[in-house]
Structure 1
Amino acid sequence: MTQLEDGFGRQFYYLRLSITDVCNFRCTYCLPDGYRPNGRNYFITQAEVARITRAFAALGTQKVRITGGEPTMRKDFTELLRTVADTPGITKVALTTNGYRLAKHAQEWRDAGLTHLNVSVDSLDPKMFHQITGENLFHEVMAGVDAALDAGFEQVKLNSVLLKGLNGKELDQFLDWIKTRPVEMRFIELMQTGEMDQFFERHHMSGEQIKQRMLQQGWQSVLREKDAGPAERFWHPDYAGKLGLIMPYSKDFCAGCNRLRVSAQGKLHLCLFGEGGVELRDLLAADEQQGELIARLQSALQTKRETHYLHQGDAGSTPHLASIGG
């Protein structure tokens, strides 16, 4: 089977699979007014998840990240997780979560096949955490992080969107936190989306400036794996944890793109900031359609743009990051 490759020679080993766009948090940079359903949503089913994952695996995908919204809000989340993990060819199963159910279910999800975990923790100060997320759940989320470390995941990461005037001053506090903990702390540069123009102008911090500061403090680059996400990763001899920076405005950010997205509505998105999406759901009803599904994936990939145009102020049609799984 031909590897998924676009017209610029980039190969794709990594699928970000959204299973819901519902979220129970109200993060200022994503859903400040909370989740607002747009009509009645019919999110992809367990059978559809299985067919999507098999098709991508047949085309060389090795890593699947389950995203949302908040994916663990689905009642059948553990079954969906096991479906993905049991797919031949898939070697890494990751989850991005706000962590509100993690303390109770970390071991259950690890046993179901989850290997890598990203937990959104936008502040280590409970009051600031509440201000950014809209939920007073800091201690519950951090208990979940501890439970995840005890459960033995291959990798645990904390995600933080750094915001000028809010949690931006906590950079040193985050670094102190990973000095003795084997966790990767990832700082995500705020991205402009359709509903967030004024928020972006007010709170954006340059990822490149943070990178230069880290290099001056002795952090050193880590070699990027072929199925890794977009973060530039760093290590320091004095720290048990690692550091990751996701900088979508940096030069050549898209040159190493290796990931595709499928939304909870069953659409293929070639870029987080692309337009519209490619319908897949009409080919997810039966196993006999697998060949057509694979052909559509291969064909659609030839229309992928060389780069996003965020640096020109063009965020495409993406209204907010929860809409197609971030």
Structure 2
Amino acid sequence: MPRRAPTVDRGQVPDSELEDRFGRRFAYLRLSITDVCNFRCEYCLPDGYQGRPTGFLHQAEIGRLVRSFAELGIRKLRITGGEPLVRKDALAIIAEAAATPGIEKVALTTNAFNLARQAEALREAGLSAINISLDSLNPEGFERITGDKRFDKVMAGIDAAIAAGIPSVKINTVLLGGLNDHEVPDFMEFVRERPVAVRFIELMQTADNGEYFRRRHVSGQTVADRLQAAGWVPQKRGETDGPAVEYTHPDYAGRIGLIAPYAPGFCDGCNRLRVTARGGLRLCLFGNGTHDLRPLLQDDADMPALKRSICQTLVGKEVSHHLHEGDFGDTPHLASTGG
């Protein structure tokens, strides 16, 4: 059963910085702008999007949200979905975020279905990092996993992002037993001449994928062992970096990363918060419930109260997720929360 959220004394809580009860500081916000996705990845939305494609935060609300978080110390913002580029105003949202005082890096996570056409405009808007989902390096494997035939468009999008000069280009690959785990050497070769990072993401259990998880889960440690045996060296994480441990090798232009949420101590260095596409502050990807910020996003005059509300809610953040206990909170699938 999902754990109940802890009872928290919401007394005097500072509204000038983001720090939880365990001394962790937060400088990274993941903001979903839609939960709609146009792919049918079998580990996330095998039946396609079944939600309600309305009621997402408007651009003005997003602007107030980003400004408030920036004033609380957020320096890195990642725009996620669903698939964020299905929103017609995604470019305008990114441009406004990049111009917000205090925001040093604006990143985007996308399936790259339309990236080749938009890469230059995204760079001009101020995008400083992009993560592209790519679960196989061959068209047949790609279609098998994603339910989509646009492999060539995704590959063209990767090349376009590099050519546009987006400073950080990363590839997200969900590690799936029997489907793409045999491609680890191919992904290593992929970064030999390309200045990109491939990050293998250990499959995580959610409410909708229990049987699939048991069938396809592969421990991230198998990739770590393989990398270190081949001479790859882990690098130290930066203050606003995500949860990936990245490895480098002198013979390769790119890097290989690993996100292993089942590894010991995974949550110790947590530095990120999440806001859903409808304005819910979520303290953990695998927690329970969200705190509705939307009523405080309607007017600039509400921003001081908004900041206090964020800091008060942060007091309830737990020290760790409970995935090892089979408790994945109330996350139905990753597209619902922005991953």
Distance, in Å, in 2 between the alignment partners of 1:279 and 1:180 is 45
Distance, in Å, in 1 between the alignment partners of 2:212 and 2:153 is 28
Residue among 59, 69, 81 paired with 1:56:
69
Partner of 2:207: 194
**1:142 Cα deviation from its structure 2 partner:** 0.3
The letter for the 2-side match of 1:315 is F
Partner of 2:272: 259
Distance, in Å, in 2 between the alignment partners of 1:34 and 1:168 is 24
Partner of 2:198: 185
State the SS of the aligned residue for 2:173: strand
Moved over 4 A (4+): none
Distance, in Å, in 1 between the alignment partners of 2:51 and 2:268 is 35
Distance, in Å, in 2 between the alignment partners of 1:41 and 1:303 is 29
Distance, in Å, in 2 between the alignment partners of 1:2 and 1:221 is 34
Partner of 2:84: 71
**1:41 Cα deviation from its structure 2 partner:** 2.4
Partner of 1:171: 184
Cα deviation 1:15-47 (Å, max 9, x = unaligned) = 000000000000011100000124x62100100
Distance, in Å, in 2 between the alignment partners of 1:113 and 1:241 is 23
Aligned residue runs from structure 1 range 63-142, under 5 A: 63-142=76-155
Residue among 41, 51, 61 paired with 1:37:
51
State the SS of the aligned residue for 2:278: coil
Partner of 1:23: 37
The alignment's TM-score, normalised by the length of structure 2, stands at 0.95
The alignment's TM-score, normalised by the length of structure 1, stands at 0.99
The answer to whether residue 301 in structure 2 is matched with residue 288 in structure 1 is yes
**1:78 Cα deviation from its structure 2 partner:** 0.8
Partner of 2:26: 12
Partner of 2:10: none
**1:2 Cα deviation from its structure 2 partner:** 2.5
Distance, in Å, in 1 between the alignment partners of 2:185 and 2:229 is 14
Aligned CA RMSD, in angstroms, stands at: 0.8
Which consecutive unaligned segments of at least 5 residues does structure 1 have?
none
Distance, in Å, in 2 between the alignment partners of 1:305 and 1:41 is 31
The letter for the 2-side match of 1:9 is G
**1:191 Cα deviation from its structure 2 partner:** 0.2
Cα deviation 1:102-130 (Å, max 9, x = unaligned) = 00000001000111000000000100100
The letter for the 1-side match of 2:184 is L
Distance, in Å, in 1 between the alignment partners of 2:39 and 2:265 is 32
The range that moved more, 188-197 or 208-217, is: 208-217
State the SS of the aligned residue for 1:256: coil
State the SS of the aligned residue for 1:106: helix
**1:216 Cα deviation from its structure 2 partner:** 1.2
Residue among 240, 251, 273 paired with 1:238:
251
The letter for the 2-side match of 1:286 is D
Cα deviation 1:223-258 (Å, max 9, x = unaligned) = 110000000111001110001100000000000000
- How many residues of Structure 1 are paired with residues of Structure 2 in the alignment? 325
Partner of 1:270: 283
Residue among 292, 306, 319 paired with 1:279:
292
Cα deviation 1:147-197 (Å, max 9, x = unaligned) = 000000110000100100111111101111101110001000000000000
The letter for the 2-side match of 1:19 is I
State the SS of the aligned residue for 1:316: coil
Distance, in Å, in 1 between the alignment partners of 2:321 and 2:218 is 19
The letter for the 1-side match of 2:26 is F
The letter for the 1-side match of 2:258 is L
Aligned residue runs from structure 1 range 294-305, under 5 A: 294-305=307-318
Partner of 1:307: 320
Distance, in Å, in 2 between the alignment partners of 1:154 and 1:11 is 25
The letter for the 1-side match of 2:198 is M
